[in-house]
Structure formats: C-alpha cells, structure tokens
Structure 1
Amino acid sequence: MKKVSILDVVEKSGVSLVTVSRVLNNSTTVREINRQKVLQAMKDLGYTPSSAARSLARGSTGLIGITLQTLGDTVFDGIIHAVNESLEAKGYFLALSIASPAQMDNSAVNHFLFQEDRVDGIILLSTFAEKEYVLELKRKKIPFVIIDNHIEDTKAITINVDNFLGGYEATKHLLNLGHTKIMHISGPELYLSARDRRRGYEQAMAEADLAPTVIMAEQFDIRCGFDSVKTCLEHGLKPTAVFAGEDGLALGAMDAFRDEGYHIPRDISIVGYDDQYFAKAIHPRLTTIRQPMEKLGQEAVRILLEMIDGSSKRSKSVCLTPALIVRESTAEWKEHT
C-alpha cells in the first residue's frame, strides 16, 4: 500500500501546499474554512504527519536549541522538561547545550548551536554570557528568547518570574507571623533574580519600619547557607526568622541553626525560594516561594514558535507570578520566657 504523503493531503483538500504546511504547524494565519478542509482530508486519508514532514513543510531544521550553565538545579530541570514536552507537541526536537566556563570565556561566534541552519531558534536559560549571546543571535537573525535574564532593561524578549514580588511576599509572611528580626541571605549579585528578591525583602521591611539585615552568599548552595548563618551568629546577630534567596541556602541555614541548638520553627522560622524537589521532603518541610517551572517552559516555547512562524509581529516579554507555599518551617513568633 502506498504511504500517504503531504502532497496527497494537498490534492484531497484542494488547498495549496503552503496552507497545508501552515495547518501542520498550527499557524494562526490560516482561514478556519481552509483549516477544516485540511483536517478533514488528513482524517479521510489517515494521514499522521511525522516530525520530518513538519520540518520539510516549514523548510526548517525542526530543532530548537537551549543553552544553560548547569543541570544541577531542579528548577532548570523542570523548565527543560516543560520545554521538551511543549516542543514535542509541535513536532520539534530539543538540542541541549551546557556551556562550560571555558566556553563562556570564548566568543559566542563559536557556539555550536549558533551556526547557520543548525537550529530554528534558541532558548537562553539563565546564561551568564547573555550580552555576547544576544549580539551574536541578533547578528545571525536567529530567533531567541531568554528565560531568567540577568541584564536589567534588556531589549531581548524575556520570560521571567516576578522575583521582587516573591521576595516581598516571603518577607510579608514572616512579618505577619510577628517576626521583626528578619535576616535575608541573598544570592550572588550576578543574578538579577537575587537582586530583585533582595529588593522585595527590603521593601517589605521598610513598610514595616524595620531595618534590613542582609548577608551576601557567594553561591546559591547549601554550604553558603550554612556558612552565612554561622558567620551571623559569631557576630552576635540573632534573628528570629530568615528569608533565604534560594532553597539550598535555606537548607544550609536550617542545618547551621540546628547545629547551634535552635529548634525550627519554635526558635527560628525559615523561608526559602524555588520550591525545589527536596523542599517538601526535609524535616520540617520548607516554607518557600514556588517558581512556575512548567509555565516558564511553556511560555518560552509559545513565544519562540510565534517568532519563528511570523504569527506574532510584536512578541512581548512575560513576567509570571510566584506563589507562597506555607509548610512547617515557619511559625508565629512567641517570646520565650
């Protein structure tokens, strides 16, 4: 039996190859009457488009690239899974690139994903080589979006979470529990997200007419959270609550306080940020700010594919809302007698 091809769908539906191609790629520029003709022809013929057929129809590689610094982060892991699922649903494949420190020092011109006709578009995930990558991608006219950008006032299309709001809500939660001695462990200045979370904390403290106490951590990790608390206690700072700018920092802070004889949450309340996989597995379970990982990935794919097929002439950046997840690591503050 002859295998049904895209040309058979063209003949059966009575519309052009271009129209069939647009229907296969879910373009919004197709008239509904023609879309129904194509869908009915596909049904009558029993035609199921393969990824190769979709790529041939749109005259492209069928590949979307994503570049990031590390896989050792459950937020990134969740985003990548969402990107991959969204791309599969549209007939695309995902090409993953993990940039080493050496690669980041070199020119973006040499990035293997940025070569002509290698991919149809690029997703930059929290890259430190943002400036160089953006210049090169614009020069080569490769469509791209950035998830979690680090350059303020960037002209690129970005998909972010409102980190200012997240920091503000985390701090308000502690204030509403009666805490006034609230310390913030902030992540590296290099991250725009860390700077915005700190600004949210400072805003909430200012509204409560309280002085902020900020400890700067060198990295978003458990060891830095542990060391930050040890340093704080050694200098006589005794907060009743901590807002950590990332869940790893929060976990390290919890270990340090326990090591000093504190009970959580009776003696110290702790809030993290991200809602990583371990947040609800540790004891006590961690109160944290959840990042909408799935939505970040889905929005990045939606906007990038609109840029590729030209269905949206003016793509806009997206800022998603985080959510406070209250668990057992925070409690109402009561003075001990």
Structure 2
Amino acid sequence: MKVNIFDVARKSGLSVVTVSRVINNAGTVREKNRQKVLQAMKELGYSPSAAARSLARGKTGVIGIAIMTLNDSFLDAVVKEINDKMAEHHYLLALFISQEDENDMHNAIFQEDRVDGVIVLSPINEERYEQELTRKNIPYVLVDNQQEHSLAPSVQVDNFRGGYEATKHLIELGHVSIAHICGSDSFLSSKERVRGYKAAMSEAGLEPWIEQGNFDIPSGYDIAERWLQTGSLPTAVFAGDDMMAFGVMDALKNNGLRIPDDVSVVGYDDQLFATQLRPWLTTVRQPVESIGAQAIELLLKQIGSKEEHTQDGAEHIKLQPELIVRESTRRLNRP
C-alpha cells in the first residue's frame, strides 16, 4: 500500500499540518518535531512528490473550512466538493466545526502558521470571522454569507431567484392557496427565498401565507399538523428547505392525504433524500459543484494577492439555482 502524508503523521505522532511544514521546509517547526517527521518518513520509506513539496504555493499547504454543522447533506456536499477541488491544487483540508456562541477562535484554525487561507461556510456572525481573519492577515472567502453588501470575497446562490421560481411553478400549476414555510431570518438565504416567494405571489395578485419554520423535519411536520387540526390546509406548499418539506409530507401522509393529489410540495436544496423518499420531491437545486469550485478559485486568488502584496477589490460571485420538477407537484384539481 502506498504510504501517504497521513501515515507519516500517525507514525511521528504529530499533526498533518506539521508534517506538511517539514515537507515544505517551513521555518516554524521545532527542530525536535522536524527530526521526528524526518525519522518517520525514513522508516516508512515516504518520498513526497514535487507537488507535495510545493503545496499550492503556500506556507502550510492547508486550507481551513469553518462550518456550523455537519447535520446537513447540502453543506456536507459543499464541503466534499471543496475538498475535491483542493486536492486538485494539492491542498489539505482542516475542518473547524464552529458554534454560534463561539467566543474563542484562537485555538481553532485561525492562525496564520496553520493555514494558508480559510473558507467560512454559512456563518451566522460573519463579522467576527472577518475581523479575526483580517487581523491575522489570513486570506478568506465567505460562502452563503449573511450580509447583503459584504466587503469580503464571497460566493452566494441567487436565493431570490430560487424562491421566485419555486413559487412561480406552483402558480403555473393553478394553485392560489400557496403557503411558504421559511427558515430563520438569521440567514440571508432564508430572507431572500421569502422575498422571491412574495414577488411571485404579488405578481400573480395572490396573498402571501408565511409560516416560521426552523430548517428541520419537526418544524415542517408541526406546521402541517396545525393546518390539519384547524382545517386551514393550503393546496400547495413551498418549504424553505427539503427537511421542512419532508416534515410536511410526513404529516400529510400520516393523516391519509396524498401528495401531490391533495397537496403539492416544493422543497429547496435537492438534498440526498429528495429522490429516496416517495413521492420524489420537486425542489430547487443549489449548484454544489460550482459553489465548491468558485470558492476555491476565489480563495486561491486571495492567497496569490497576498503573496504578491496586491490589494484587489473583493469579488462577489452569485450562482443560479435550478428548479427540479419531480413527483410531489401537479396541476391543481379544481372542483
């Protein structure tokens, strides 16, 4: 079996970052640790390639990703795409799972001698990240950021367009009683989906019907249960993410209703289970591959600008979502 940098890290008892520094002759490694790594490389017969020696023109060959949760298949998919793209540029990934109330980032990956750059994925308090990373002169990119007019380099999806297209699809199927279950307004993406929903409803001369969810299955389920108990069921639902859509569908099916015959349902994200549960979910697909590719390319530009001591203006990339029509929506059966 071919020996890799992770084997060297295990053998030496040191981190992959330290091994990377030794391979790249970085001056920030203690001599004792350097000798441990060199001895492990010798014993394992490990000979780093030229690409590994020049890991992406950086000091460490490591890029950090800060993320709030791993319990989201969409965010997981984005991380995977970023990791795959980093590998093409010979970078290693350092993952930091943040907390909303995180106060101390000094012991995380936010150290200039630990990473060459950082991708901050869907941050809640992005100002803290911006201040810390700027102060430490670490290049960074925000993905799915929360500030409308961020001064930081960013990659976003046009969530207004996604919300508009999802709602427009239901309107074109003849629905006029269309409820939208939104997520937390802490997220700009959630607010933009609501704005898109409202625009499509207004354009059609329809009254908006908005419920507050929590980007999870239980909140979608509870809202649908309340509709059923009060006899105020819409004919169509646009959920702000697939999890809430699954919750709505579960509640409806548990009460003997058929999807889409009785109620049409649209989700958002095109998560893993969208085509594994019946009926297959009509949803708005976010361009995961493009998000990962653009985030890496944008970060590499920031790293290059730092090395060349240039100050380029912050670049903002907005990608387009795609409505994926499946089995959970159909034309309204009028009495």
1:288 aligned to which of 267, 283, 286: 283
Decide which of 202, 205, 217 is 2:201's aligned counterpart.
205
CA shift for structure 1 position 233: 2.9
Which residue is 1:88 aligned to?
87
Which residue is equivalent to 1:266?
A: 261
Check whether the contact 2:83–2:93 (CA below 8 A) recurs between aligned residues.
Answer: yes
Q: Is the counterpart of residue 245 in structure 1 residue 240 in structure 2?
A: yes
**CA–CA separation in structure 2 for the residues paired with 1:59 and 1:151:** 29
State the alpha-carbon separation in 1 of the partners of residues 57 and 80 from structure 2: 25
Give RMSD over aligned pairs: 1.8
Q: 1:300 matched to which residue of 2?
A: 295
Corresponding residue for residue 29 of structure 2: none
Residue 180 of structure 1 aligns to which amino acid in structure 2?
V
User: How much has 1:117 moved relative to structure 2?
Assistant: 1.2
Residues 59, 210 of structure 1: alpha-carbon distance in 2 compared, 3 angstrom cutoff: closer
**C-alpha displacement of 1:49:** 4.6
Q: Deviations over 1:135-185 (max 9, x none)?
A: 111111110001111223221111011000000000000000000000001
In the alignment, which residue of structure 2 is the partner of 1:52? 52
Moved more, 299-308 or 128-137: 128-137
**Cα offsets for 1:217-268 (capped at 9, x unmatched):** 1x21111100011123333322100000000100000011122221111110
Give the corresponding residue for 1:17.
Answer: none
Q: Report Cα offsets for 1:162-216 as digits up to 9, x if no partner.
A: 0000000000000000000000011111111111101100000000000000000
Q: Distance in 2 between matches of 1:118 and 1:190?
A: 30
Contact 1:244 1:273 in 2 (8 A): yes
What letter matches 1:291 in structure 2? Q
Contact 2:58 2:116 in 1 (8 A): no
In structure 1, the residue matched to 2:63 is 64
Q: Distance in 1 between matches of 2:218 and 2:286?
A: 22
Q: How does 1:146-295 map to 2 (within 5 A)?
A: 146-217=142-213, 219-295=214-290
The residue aligned with 2:318 is 319
Q: Hey, what's the Cα distance between the residues in 1 that align with 2:218 and 2:191?
A: 20
Q: Would the aligned equivalents of 1:303 and 1:315 in 2 still touch at CA under 8 Å?
A: no
Deviation at 1:70, TM superposition (A): 0.9
What amino acid is the match of 2:77?
G
Give the percent of matched residue pairs that are identical in Structure 1 and Structure 2: 46
Q: Say if 1:146 and 1:157, in contact at 8 Å, map to a contact too.
A: yes
Which residue type is aligned with residue 221 of structure 1?
A: D
Q: Which amino acid aligns with 1:106?
A: N
- 3-state SS of 2:164 partner: helix
Match of 1:105 in 2: 102
Distance 1:84 1:139 in 2: 26
Q: Secondary structure of 1:114's partner?
A: coil
Q: Which residue of 2 aligns with 1:27?
A: none
Quick check: 2:112–2:137 contact (8 Å CA) kept in 1?
no
Q: Which moves more between the two structures, 146-155 or 66-75?
A: 146-155
Give the aligned residue type for 2:248. A
* Preserved contact between residue 50 and residue 91 of structure 1 (Cα < 8 Å): no
Deviation at 1:131, TM superposition (A): 1.3
* CA distance in 1: counterparts of 2:153 and 2:264, whole angstroms: 37
- Secondary structure of the structure 1 residue equivalent to 2:109: helix
Q: Classify 1:236/1:59 alpha carbon distance in 2 versus 1 (closer, same or farther; 3 Å).
A: closer
**Cα offsets for 1:16-71 (capped at 9, x unmatched):** xxxxxxxxxxxxxxxxxxxxxxxxxxxxxxxx95343113x835111100010111
- Partners of 2:54 and 2:277 in 1: CA distance: 45
Gaps of 5+ in 1: 1-47
Give the TM-score normalised by the residue count of structure 2: 0.81
CA contact (8 A) 2:117 2:299 kept: yes
- Checking the alignment, whether the CA contact within 8 Å between 2:151 and 2:314 is kept in structure 1 is no
Q: Note if contact 1:264-1:329 (Cα within 8 Å) is conserved in structure 2.
A: yes
Q: Is the 8 A contact 2:270 2:285 kept in 1?
A: yes
How far, CA to CA, are the matches of 1:133 and 1:87 in structure 2? 21
> Could you list the runs of 4 or more consecutive aligned residues of structure 1 that deviate by over 4 angstroms after TM superposition?
none
Q: Hey, what's the Cα distance between the residues in 1 that align with 2:49 and 2:317?
A: 31
Q: How far does residue 87 in structure 1 lie from its aligned partner after superposition?
A: 0.8
Deviation at 1:315, TM superposition (A): 4.6
| SS at 1:171 equivalent | helix
